[in-house]
Structure 1
Amino acid sequence: MSDSAPSPTPRVAVILLAGGRGRRAGFTQPKQLEPLGGKPVLRWCLDAFAAHPAISAGVLVAGDDVVAATGGLPAGWLAAAPGAERQQSVASGLAALASWDDANIVLVHDSARPGVTAAVIDRLLAALDAAEAAIPTLPVPDTLVREIEGKAGDIVDRAALARVQTPQAFGLGTLRRAHAAAAGETATDDAQLVRRIGVPVATVAGDARLHKLTYAEDSGILSGLLGTEKSMRTAVGMGYDVHRLVAGKPLWIGGLEIAHSHGLEGHSDADVALHALTDAILGALADGDIGTHFQPSDPEWRGAASWRFLEFAGRRVAQAGGRIAHLDLTIIAEAPKIGPYRDAMRAHIAEILALSPARISVKATTTERLGFTGRREGIAAQAIATLQLPEI
């Protein structure tokens, strides 16, 4: 019988990366703060790790705005500032664990994967009994081809391929050595850095629920995977706006500045198109109108860009757990001609609301020289918004 004392059970910490802004997703806020099933995506990760009995601490690597929006960090957690790149953010998390011994364990996870399960964590920790690093993977179910100039080329053998997920598990000392040896070299995940120093990386079964929120469409996929889908109802709202044309002002329509002899008069930039869209969305939400939320008497909004109003309306839809299904905008003007700008307007509106341009219709018409628009005294816009909202 050995007289040596048993080795202490390693402690487990998490480095949770939430420093990205999610520009590919096109959201109006950091994607880790997007609502999913009644709480932010980031909160799903925090709650899952806090509930696992083996995890005793964590580091949330995020900007101050994201940290403030978490609703509070779990016991034993602290925050660290993110770097410009993912690798620098992980290094920031490692620095926050400077007091931890190399013999302990660290999990590194991307907060854009909210479907963390205890089973995956258990499989990763079990793999570290015999390895210094472990990652969850999924098989590739689709046929893969090389695409060359828009044409399908040779088939790629998928038998030896796998999709890599997070969290990834490492001996803390191993990950520290890998980052120290990187010397400025970049990698898309930490397992790559560990392999570069000659350490084998074990694989364990991943989970489809660890799907990554990359594009706006992924929200619907994650809702289905995580069982957060609710019965939805269709809501329709209508918006209308008109502004007088005056000399000596820039003309803003649909978020674009258009060269013209006159511009629109108003407290903000007087963009009739975005105002009509904003009112249509707020109408479908039964949430007042622009004047309710942005009072004309408030000097804060003097000369304000109208995309801020539209972005606000889109955010109200997300906060209600809904989505914008379609927008139909009609601009009524004798001049200038809207046709040359139509596609650019659709693209700009889509960017503001993180939608596909395919969900946005922009049309223009005249009043055959009748009325104030026909006399070129002003420009008007009408909009209809169709939303999908949770049943009340």
Structure 2
Amino acid sequence: MLRILESKLCHLLQIENPIIQAGMAGGATTVDLLVGVSEAGGLATLGAAYMKPEDIRKTIKEVKSRVNKPFAVNLFCTTMDDNLTNLREVQSALNSFRQDLNITYGNSNIKTESLFDEQFQVLLDEKIPIISTAFGHLSTEKMQLAKERGIKVITMVTTVNEAILAEQAGSDVIVAQGSDAGGHRSTFDINTFPNGANIGTFSLVPQVVDHVNVPVVAAGGIMDARGIVASLALGAQGVQMGTQFLTCKESGIHPAYKDALLQSNEESTVITKSFSGRPARGIKNKFISEFENLGIEPLPFPSQNTLTTDIRKAAAKQNNPDYMSLWAGQATRLQKGNISAKQLICELMDEVKQMLGKM
């Protein structure tokens, strides 16, 4: 039974253990976290979607200086054009939150930087071995550039049709991301699925496995050895985990965010567009409750995300989780808490091997 761990996925990505640490944008994936995951034989992923190109380059170089193992970088494959149709109405609603935080009211000078092309070029320049994408697959041109350099491409999907499109586009690995997952899921077309494709992980995984020929990775609500073994039984060749890594010692999230995670349970999270304009699962707090009670449609992503940046930053400075985006999956009771990423992976794999050995 232990041979099930010797998957094509591990050989393809040159990792020892079939665990991918999710590329969580927004500062969670510190250099220390990436190094710890890599040293434990998992695939570390830098969540670089909101990072400036020069910061991505600096982080990549630092990781390479500390560990000689492959790691991935995750980017968002979506347009970053602003849609400010109901800006005045949304800004007026957000100003009540700014008043609570004693910060300056928002204005109409909103512009989101579109950095994808420069970010992608940094990955090529720095010879990153693995690129991971959310919200879509790489374009034909960029996929060809990646293939020419021997880069492996991982694409996150939330439906079978998205998985088929990703494989046809040239993706080497597909992450089947269920609605249990924390944060932004990778639904390609938000116009078709305004709240994201809400298919549970263990319903989605076997259906994706049956319709593509590349390795499939299960993601969403997987926190322990039982989830890993169940994913393997459904045909996945590995798992991607995010929420479990957020409370690791090396995680870069705010201490108040960690506390909120450790105090949460399976009933704590909701799917909301309030913070970013794109559906994401997080712990329900004052910001989500009050914004949604107003009945105002948030601006589309990325405009709403840009608009709420000052609120989230002020909340972090004031140690106020009521106004932070507390992204989390649905299985937070299973968090291991304040341990190192390396210890987390080692414990998980020991438990997996014990379970499989009993079988």
Report if TM-score (shorter chain) is over 0.5. no
Task: Give the TM-score category using the shorter length.
Answer: under 0.3
Normalised by the length of structure 2, the TM-score is 0.24
Could you say which structure has the higher helix fraction?
2
TM-score, scaled relative to structure 1: 0.22
Report which of the two has the higher share of strand.
1
Report 1 or 2 for greater relative contact order, CA contacts < 8 Å, sequence distance ≥ 6: 2
Largest Rg, 1 or 2: 1
